[in-house]
């Protein structure tokens, strides 16, 4: 049998089988399972057939609940059907899981197991999602490696067809789903031979058909439900045997043999660890290590967790076992133990109970949210098993200094064999490092007899993110599902990292260190931080340097250095002879980039050929000579929490934090992003005050709040002006601040260098047309020093009085303090300017409910938080519930706030005598529409609290507790289009009808940005996206008009780059409207395939073409003879095609399929024309809104 060796990740391994054996695939994107759906979609798009000779129908649904429903229906109608999901997605499927199992329906769902959000969301892997499905009646089959993710996917499909019990086939999210490893790939013939056609026919015969009608899904009563539930018992009794037979048949054909429980280790082991998932490989290595030292230990790898076969488990366990540790990758707070532990205990009792031979059983948790689990931790577990008084419940991999459950382990212990090459590469997100490393794994895995493994760690930022690639190569299959801690090769692709992180931490003595540096072998040493020099000297590293940027640039590849670095790696690692390696690299380049054209290939080949000539060994001095030092993670006066906790996370040392360091309930301080000085920009904007017209646009569009304006009395500079040398400012042009000056300041270490501010600046020099009032300049050390000093002065200046600022003007709004700053969003992000603006206008009284997505990641992904506080300590308070429920979540804020306000008002009325009638009346009748009214109310509430200080009684205390609710709160419901148009639309629609005072901000990127560009119902016709590779065929949903239709909803469609003032008006009107407001904010995105630096200007074309018309619908204007719907943009003047061809999402289709592109673009133009015609008519429509102003009329 000719089977290929392929190097793929776990997702692809599982999806390969799923696509071969399915007819319908309904999916919804969720990390880390999304790639399975994307691959299936891509294969179907390329007409790859299943084993029945038909191309599977892949459909993207509006949510996982929707996907499960579609799967359920498809199964009922007789198609072999599957889906892929994880975490909350799986939880959304649970109702259908019960149904599908209850109906004994053959199917397999493939799960990249991921943490379920609790105190925090986490995209990383553990078993909390699948364990939440234990009671659904599904069989649960665990794969522990990439090979198994393929093999057991097939076993699951074979078994479910025979046994009729549906199977959750799961493997560890990221660790297995994203690990690239060399596996033997099953062929379609294998699948044809293993899938029993009679069983497929039986599946179809059980399906619904009007030719043999049945009724399924009846409603049953107490008389029969119970019995009917028990009627399926024989199927569950039979299932373990069926799964084992499927494994045996698989082994007979393929050769790899699996058992329900596989045992490895000493046949006479006294200690055994029971484990499921990728950790099985880790424990195996510990077992070999310990047995090699004369101990007698073993590991039971659980494959079929449900139905749990007591018999098979008992047979697997050596009779000699005295103690067992059961490891669970999940946490079930309050339970006697975690699920696997409980089942093992029960199984032991049932198998051996009563005869006095019960081994001691410990239960431990490990690896939550992809926490590292290493052989040394497994050794610690075995050690615990031989302790006299072991911890019956333990954790391993963390330091628990609160409940003291954690086991100590020796991080220095390594079980890695010497003949394995272990390489670590530090790169920058999107710099090609990861891609080249994936290629290297492929080269070695597929072109040589060697085995290869790749695992890739990304940080939490979307701009300037660091990637760390962990690659292993060796003569035997590599089952080491943990990060490399002893590397014999380390490459740093970005010189700038050396100042910030310890790239040589994992380098073992004698290892090779390769640095990409513009400095040659003679000069580079003196530029290194002393700490790095010390490691190189003390570890006696072989140090090489290559100027990869120069090589790439000379080859015509611009800054793409990946093939240069890859060639140097092969040359230095010596895994293959040099010539052979280069031939393989070129072959890999041909395979990877072949479709991109000859030019790309030739230039990459040229880079490969030139790489080695530029590679030089550095003569390492005998001692450290450097005076430069690595920068401290945080410096200056930082809060205690930041210094103790946040700083460690920022430094990549969060694993070292003990349990006591972390909040017990997921509550974190805001305003910590400012301590994370990442200094990632190569160029930063510098203000030229002589040209500035003081429009404020630079600050207004800044996605990162790193260009700011302040107005100040020049006298405020006294005592400060010496600090910065010249501190540039100009007299404020405006009547509201007579005699005051304006300063515009960049935050040089926070700026991402996106260039949006410079692009939007309208003030151009009359002498040199390319020179503006703000210009990007290289961030040299001198520029940095000057701007840091100026920033220090700028920061010391006070903010303008909010009530004096003309916040209704663009320039005025930028004098308000941003309370959303320095997020980790992509450089030039199109969403964040809206959030920054909202935070400036309303942040000091804002409560934000944030749907899961990009905005929740850059808004709430640790280590730091961009939501900030002002000098009084006020600022946005932020929370993320789920993806699907955000509108309801935010509505809940309003319900509570209104209720607390009402309670406060009720209490207050009873305190007239004690605090003064005037104060009570003033509070109750306060006009809080404008800033000065809000400030006055805050002062009254403060006065009230002071007055209540001396008042005895519970009611006074109660009033003090809720008095802050008397100041108007601004409730914001924020999310992307995936939430608003798709998964959360039902809830959003309900909230739209609620009449309650909430502001809904939809950051519409027209695609699922956070999970990598899948189509949503906001994706416009003709745009290419994942799941719309042929260009989306249907038009975008007009969410604005759906909301307008309700009549009493304030609706605005805005584009901040197209019409800044209209955006500002919309935000102010929406917030002031005492009912539901919806703002649809056009948010450019890297998923549009546009240059981000000019994206704000490009928004003008979006509006000029009618693609994104601007409007405001204000119900307050209804019934006054006015038309509530107001069109704010002019009749389209630009053909849609001219706008569209500047975006790769449209342009790529015109390349790949010009006829379809032409067809869709013409339809899209007609969409635009028709919509404009409709809107124009709407702008002339008078309406009355009978219930306007009546809160809560729909209940």
Partner 1 sequence: MSVDLSTRYLGLDLAHPIVVSACSLGFDLGNLKRMEDAGASAIVLPSLFEEQIVHDQLAVHEFYEFTSEKFPEALSFFPEMNDDNTGPEAYLRLVESAKRSLGIPVIGSLNGNSTGGWIRYAKLIQDAGADALELNVYRVVTDSHDDAIAVEAQDLELVTEVCRSVSIPVAVKIGPYFSSLPNFAVRLAGAGASGLVLFNRFYQPDIDLETLRVVPRLVLSTSDEVRLPMRWIAVLYGRVRASLAATTGVHEPQDVLKLLLAGADATMVASALYRRGIGHLKVLVEGTRAWLEERDYLSVGQMKGSISQINAPDPEAFERANYIKTLVNYTGNGAIS
- Listed in sequence order, the residues at least 6 apart from 1180 whose beta carbon sits closer than 8 Å to its beta carbon are 1123
Active site residue 1010: yes
The DSSP letter of residue 251 is: H
Of 606 and 716, the one with the shorter C-beta distance to partner 1 is 606
Answer yes or no: is 57 a known binding residue: no
Whole-angstrom distance, CA of residue 638 vs CA of residue 976: 33
The annotation status of 1005 as a binding-site residue, yes or no, is yes
829 is annotated as contributing to ligand binding? yes
**Nearest CB to partner 1, comparing residues 41 and 535:** 41
Q: What's the alpha-carbon Rg for the chain, to the nearest Å?
A: 32
User: Which is closer to partner 1, CB of 431 or CB of 931?
Assistant: 431
Q: What are phi and psi of 358, to 5 degrees?
A: -65, 125
Pairing of strands 180-184, 451-458: antiparallel
Is residue 1007 a known part of a binding site?
A: yes
Cβ contact 707:780 at 8 Å: no
Please report how close the Cβ of residue 790 comes to partner 1 at its closest, in angstroms: 29
Residue 114 is assigned to a ligand binding site = yes
To the question of whether residue 761 is assigned a binding role by annotation, the answer is: yes
Measured distance CA(68)–CA(101) in Å, rounded: 12
Q: How far is CA 648 from the centre of its chain?
A: 21
- The nearer residue to partner 1, 293 or 766, going by C-beta atoms, is 766
Edge to edge, what strands does the sheet with 108-113 contain? 57-60, 24-27, 81-85, 108-113, 167-172, 139-142, 304-306
Helix (H, G, I), strand (E, B) or coil at 240: helix
Question: Least Å distance between CB 305 and partner 1?
Answer: 27
Residue among 346, 170, 222 nearest 274 (CA): 346
| 345 C-beta neighbours (distance < 10 Å), count | 18
Q: Is 1085 annotated as a binding residue?
A: yes
Judge whether 960 is annotated as a binding position.
no
- Going 1149 to 1152 to 1158 to 1159, the CA torsion angle's sign is negative
- Name the site residues for partner 1 (rule: CB under 8 A): 31-32, 34-35, 38, 41-42, 45-46, 123, 174, 178, 429-430, 432-435, 456, 458, 462, 465, 467, 556, 558, 560, 593, 595-600, 603, 764, 769, 826, 857, 1009-1013, 1024-1026, 1029, 1086-1087, 1089, 1144-1145, 1148, 1151-1152, 1154
Q: Any known ligand binding at 628? A: no
The residues facing 745 across adjacent strands are 708
Query: Which CA distances in Å does 639 have to 635, 642, 679, 719, 1100?
Result: 11, 5, 21, 26, 43
Task: Give least dist CB 771 to partner 1, A.
Answer: 12
- Which residue of the set 7, 11, 31, 160 is catalytic? 31
Looking at beta carbons only, is 610 or 661 nearer to partner 1? 610
Q: Is 64 annotated as a binding residue?
A: yes
> How far apart, in whole angstroms, are the C-alpha atoms of residue 656 and residue 648?
8
Q: Catalytic residue among 21, 81, 82, 114, which?
A: 114
Q: In sequence order, which residues have a C-beta less than 8 Å from that of residue 534 and are 6 or more positions away? A: 624
DSSP 8-state symbol, 295: -
- Residue (114 or 710) nearer to partner 1, CB: 114
CB 178 within 8 A of CB 469: no
Note if the bond before 214 is cis, omega within 30 degrees. no
Q: How far apart are CA 43 and CA 29, in angstroms?
A: 16
The least distance separating partner 1 from the CB of residue 333, rounded to whole angstroms, comes to 27
Task: CB nearer to partner 1: give 1118 or 1149.
Answer: 1149
Query: Is 64 one of the catalytic residues?
Result: yes
Residue 883 DSSP label: S
Please tell me whether 826 is known to bind a ligand.
Answer: yes
For residue 174, the minimal CB distance to partner 1 (Å) is: 7
Q: What are phi and psi of 762, to 5 degrees?
A: -90, -10
Q: How far is the CB of 1027 from partner 1 (least distance, A)?
A: 8
Give min distance, CB of 123 to partner 1, in A: 6
Residue 1009 annotated as binding?
A: yes
Nearer to partner 1 by Cβ, of 14 and 287: the residue is 14
Residue 557: CB minimum distance to partner 1, A: 8
Query: Whole-angstrom distance between the N-terminal and C-terminal Cα of the chain?
Result: 66
Tell whether 754 is in a known binding site: yes
- With respect to partner 1, which residue has the nearer C-beta, 933 or 1089? 1089
Active-site annotation holder among 12, 60, 64, 931 = 64
Quickly list DSSP for 914-960. HH-HHHHHHHHT---SSHHHHHHHHHHHHHHHHHHTT--SHHHHHHH
123/243 with CB nearer partner 1: 123
Listed in sequence order, the DSSP H helices in 449-597 are: 524-527, 530-538, 548-554, 562-573, 578-593
Q: Cα 100 from chain centroid?
A: 30
CB of 295 to partner 1, least distance (A): 38
Q: Which residue has the tokens 């700083």?
A: 647
Q: Which residues contact 1036 (CB under 8 A, 6 or more apart)?
A: 1006, 1017, 1018, 1019, 1020, 1021, 1167
Would you call 1069 a catalytic residue per the annotation?
no
Rounded to a whole number of angstroms, the minimum distance from the CB of residue 1151 to partner 1 is 4
DSSP 1129-1180: SPPP-S-HHHHHTTSHHHHHHHHH-HHHHHHHHHHHHHHHHHHHHHHHHHTT
User: Could you tell me the two tokens for 951?
Assistant: 């008042």
1010, 1019, 1063, 1103: the catalytic one is: 1010
User: Using CA atoms, how far apart are residues 409 and 398, in angstroms rounded to an integer?
Assistant: 10
Give the annotated binding-site residues for pyruvate: 31, 114
Residues designated as active site: 31, 64, 114, 1010
Give the annotated binding-site residues for thiamine diphosphate: 64, 831, 854, 976-979, 1005-1010
Give the annotated binding-site residues: 31, 64, 114, 692, 695, 698, 702, 751, 754, 757, 761, 826, 829, 831, 854, 976-979, 1005-1010, 1085
């Amino acid at each position: 049998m000719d089977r290929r060796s392929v190097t793929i990740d776990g997702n692809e391994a599982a999806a390969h089988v799923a696509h071969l054996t399915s007819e319908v695939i309904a999916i919804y994107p969720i990390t880390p399972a999304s790639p399975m759906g994307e691959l299936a979609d891509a294969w179907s798009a390329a007409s790859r057939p299943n084993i029945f000779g038909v191309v599977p129908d892949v459909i993207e649904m509006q949510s996982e609940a929707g996907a499960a429903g579609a799967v359920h229906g498809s199964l009922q109608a007789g198609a072999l059907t599957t889906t892929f999901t994880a975490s909350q997605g799986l939880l959304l499927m649970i109702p259908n899981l019960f149904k599908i199992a209850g109906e004994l329906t053959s199917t397999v769902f493939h799960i990249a197991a991921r943490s379920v959000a609790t105190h925090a969301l986490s995209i990383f892997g553990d078993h909390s999602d699948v364990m939440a499905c234990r009671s659904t009646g599904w069989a649960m089959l665990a794969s522990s490696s990439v090979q198994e993710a393929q093999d057991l996917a097939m076993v699951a499909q074979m078994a479910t067809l025979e046994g009729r019990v549906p199977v959750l086939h799961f493997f560890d999210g990221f660790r297995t789903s994203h690990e690239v490893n060399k596996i033997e790939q099953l062929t379609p013939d294998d699948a044809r031979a293993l899938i029993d056609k009679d069983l497929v026919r039986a599946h179809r015969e059980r399906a619904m058909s009007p030719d043999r009608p049945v009724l399924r899904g009846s409603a049953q009563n107490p008389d029969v439900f119970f019995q009917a539930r028990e009627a399926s018992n024989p199927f569950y009794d039979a299932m373990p045997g069926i799964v084992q037979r499927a494994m045996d048949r698989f082994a007979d054909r393929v050769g790899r043999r699996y058992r329900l429980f596989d045992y490895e280790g000493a046949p006479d082991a006294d200690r055994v660890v029971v484990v499921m998932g990728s950790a099985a490989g880790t424990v195996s290595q510990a077992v070999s290590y310990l047995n090699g030292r004369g101990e007698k230990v073993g590991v039971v790898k659980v494959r079929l967790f449900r139905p749990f076969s007591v018999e098979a488990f008992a047979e697997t366990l050596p009779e000699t076992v005295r103690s067992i540790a059961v490891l669970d990758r999940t946490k079930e707070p309050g339970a006697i133990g975690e699920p696997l532990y409980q089942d093992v205990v029960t199984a032991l009792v049932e198998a051996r109970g009563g005869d006095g031979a019960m081994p001691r059983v410990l239960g431990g948790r490990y690896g939550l949210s992809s926490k590292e689990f290493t052989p040394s931790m497994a050794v610690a577990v075995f050690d615990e098993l031989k302790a006299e008084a072991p911890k019956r419940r333990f954790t391993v991999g963390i330091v628990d200094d609160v409940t003291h459950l954690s086991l100590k382990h020796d991080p220095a212990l390594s079980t890695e064999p010497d003949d394995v090459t272990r390489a670590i590469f530090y790169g920058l997100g999107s710099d090609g490092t990861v891609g080249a490393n994936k290629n290297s794994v492929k080269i070695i895995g597929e072109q040589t007899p060697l085995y290869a493994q790749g695992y890739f760690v990304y940080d939490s930022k979307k701009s300037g993110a660091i990637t760390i690639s962990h690659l292993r190569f060796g003569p035997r299959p590599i089952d080491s599902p943990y990060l490399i801690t002893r590397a014999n090769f380390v490459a740093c692709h970005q010189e700038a990292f050396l100042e910030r992180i310890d790239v040589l931490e994992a380098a073992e003595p004698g290892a090779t260190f390769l640095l990409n540096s513009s400095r040659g072998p003679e000069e580079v040493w003196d530029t290194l931080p002393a700490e790095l020099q010390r490691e190189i000297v003390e570890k006696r590293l072989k140090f090489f340097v290559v100027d990869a940027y120069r090589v790439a640039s000379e080859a015509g590849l611009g800054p793409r250095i990946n093939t240069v670095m890859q060639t140097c790696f092969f040359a230095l690692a010596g895994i293959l002879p040099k010539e052979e390696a280069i031939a393989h690299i070129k072959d890999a380049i041909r395979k990877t980039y072949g479709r991109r054209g000859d030019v790309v290939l030739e230039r990459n080949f040229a880079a490969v050929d030139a790489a080695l000539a530029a590679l030089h060994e550095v003569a390492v001095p005998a001692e450290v000579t450097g005076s430069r030092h690595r920068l401290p993670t945080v410096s200056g006066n930082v809060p205690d929490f930041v210094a103790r906790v946040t700083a460690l996370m920022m430094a990549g040392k969060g694993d070292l934090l003990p349990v006591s360091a972390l909040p017990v309930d997921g509550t974190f301080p805001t305003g910590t992003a400012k301590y994370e000085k990442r200094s990632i920009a190569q160029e930063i904007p510098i203000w030229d005050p002589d040209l500035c017209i003081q429009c404020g646009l630079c600050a207004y569009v800044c996605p990162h709040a790193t260009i700011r304006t302040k107005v100040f009395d020049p006298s405020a500079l006294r005592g400060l002006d010496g600090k910065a040398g010249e501190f540039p400012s100009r007299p404020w042009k405006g009547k509201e601040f007579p005699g005051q000056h304006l300063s515009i300041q960049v935050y040089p270490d926070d700026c991402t260098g996106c260039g949006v501010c410079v692009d939007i600046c309208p003030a151009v020099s009359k002498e040199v047309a390319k020179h503006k009032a703000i210009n990007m300049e290289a961030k040299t050390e001198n520029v940095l020093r000057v701007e840091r000093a100026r920033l220090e002065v700028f920061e010391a200046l006070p903010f303008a009085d909010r009530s004096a600022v003309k916040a209704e003007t663009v320039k005025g709004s930028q004098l308000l303090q941003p309370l959303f700053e320095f997020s980790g969003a992509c450089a030039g992000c199109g969403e964040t300017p809206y959030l920054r603006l909202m935070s400036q206008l309303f942040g000091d009284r804002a409560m934000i409910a944030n749907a899961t997505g990009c905005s929740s990641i850059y808004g709430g992904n640790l280590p730091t938080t961009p939501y900030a506080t002002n000098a009084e300590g006020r600022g946005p308070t932020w929370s993320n519930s789920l993806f699907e429920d955000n509108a309801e979540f935010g509505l809940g804020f309003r319900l509570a706030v209104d209720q607390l306000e009402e309670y406060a008002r009720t209490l207050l009325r009873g305190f007239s005598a004690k605090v003064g009638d005037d104060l009570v009346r003033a509070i109750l009748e306060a006009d809080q529409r404008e800033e000065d009214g809000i400030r006055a109310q805050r002062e009254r509430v403060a006065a009230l609290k002071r007055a209540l200080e001396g008042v005895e009684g519970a009611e006074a205390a109660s009033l003090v507790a809720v008095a802050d609710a008397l100041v108007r709160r601004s409730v914001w419901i924020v999310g992307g289009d995936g939430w608003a148009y798709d998964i959360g639309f039902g809830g959003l629609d309900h909230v739209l009808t609620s009449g309650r005072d909430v502001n809904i901000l939809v950051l519409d990127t027209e695609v699922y940005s956070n999970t990598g560009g899948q189509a949503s119902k906001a994706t416009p016709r003709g745009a290419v996206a994942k799941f719309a590779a042929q260009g989306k065929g249907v038009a975008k949903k007009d969410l604005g008009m759906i909301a307008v239709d309700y009549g009493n909803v304030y609706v605005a469609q805005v584009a901040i780059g197209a019409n800044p003032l209209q955006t500002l008006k919309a935000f102010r009107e929406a917030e002031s409207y005492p009912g539901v407001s919806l703002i649809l904010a056009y948010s450019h995105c890297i998923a549009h395939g546009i240059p981000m630096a000019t994206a704000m200007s490009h928004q003008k074309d979006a509006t000029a073409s009618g693609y994104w018309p601007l409007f405001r619908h204000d119900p307050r204007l209804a019934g006054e003879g006015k038309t509530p719907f107001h069109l704010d943009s002019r009749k389209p003047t630009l053909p849609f095609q001219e706008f569209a061809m500047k975006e790769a999402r449209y342009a790529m289709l015109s390349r790949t399929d010009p006829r379809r592109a032409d067809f869709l673009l013409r339809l899209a133009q007609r969409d635009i024309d028709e919509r404009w015609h409709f809107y124009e008519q709407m702008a002339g429509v008078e309406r009355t809104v009978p219930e306007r102003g009546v809160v809560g009329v729909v209940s």
